[in-house]
Amino acid sequence: MSTEPAPHDVLAYLLKHATLRLATLVDDALLPLGVDGKEFGVLRVLAHREPTSQLQVAQTLGVDRTTMVALLDGLERKGIVGRRPDPADRRRNVVQLTGQGERTFAEAQAVYQKAETDFLAGISPRAGEQLRRTLRTLLED
């Protein structure tokens, strides 16, 4: 046997695969609602804010504005979001959840919480909270 450490026991690997596993759980859980994890991200932004422009949503999520177009096209086709020109600046689109979108978001949030709980099932609630705090601190900078 080699004296080298196991290739999987390194923080970058552990973080990546924990991320992947939770993302898979969430995507699977959201499947019946007709949205995926990325779309759920858009819904969270729209539910949190007053109606905003596409660009603001894109910047909040850290994606390009051209990527946001396709994302919103899909959500609009499903009747989850609506777009209309901003009367105050007609270059902008005001984006907001539709009534159906609000319901989908509420269901998606419940489904997400369950997936997260399942993901954390192997550790104590205290350890789960500690994990969340630690990650927040690391991302604060």
Q: How far apart are CA 47 and CA 38, in angstroms?
A: 14
Q: How far apart are CA 109 and CA 115, in angstroms?
A: 10
Of the pair 30, 91, the CB lying nearest a copy of itself is at 30
Measure Cα distances from 84 to 2, 24, 94, 95 in Å: 62, 33, 5, 7
Detail the DSSP E strand segments found in 71-126: 81-86, 89-97
| Site of interaction with DNA (CB under 7 A) | 38, 53-55, 58, 62-70, 72-73, 83, 89-93, 95
Counting DSSP H helices and E strands in the chain, the numbers are 6, 3
Q: Which of 48, 77, 90, 91 binds a copy of itself (CB under 8 A)?
A: 48
2-10, 64-72, 73-81, 85-93 -> range binding a copy of itself (CB under 8 A): 2-10
Minimum separation from the CB atom of position 136 to a copy of itself (A): 6
Please give the single-letter amino acid code of residue 15: L
- Between strands 52-53 and 81-86, the pairing is unpaired
Of the pair 38, 109, the CB lying nearest DNA is at 38
Minimum separation from the CB atom of position 85 to DNA (A): 7
Minimum separation from the CB atom of position 90 to a copy of itself (A): 25
Minimum separation from the CB atom of position 78 to a copy of itself (A): 19
Q: Which of 12, 8, 29 is nearest to 118 (CA)?
A: 29
Residues engaged in binding a copy of itself (CB under 8 A): 2, 4-7, 9-19, 21-23, 26, 37, 41, 44-45, 47-50, 60, 112, 116, 119-120, 122-123, 127, 130-132, 134-141
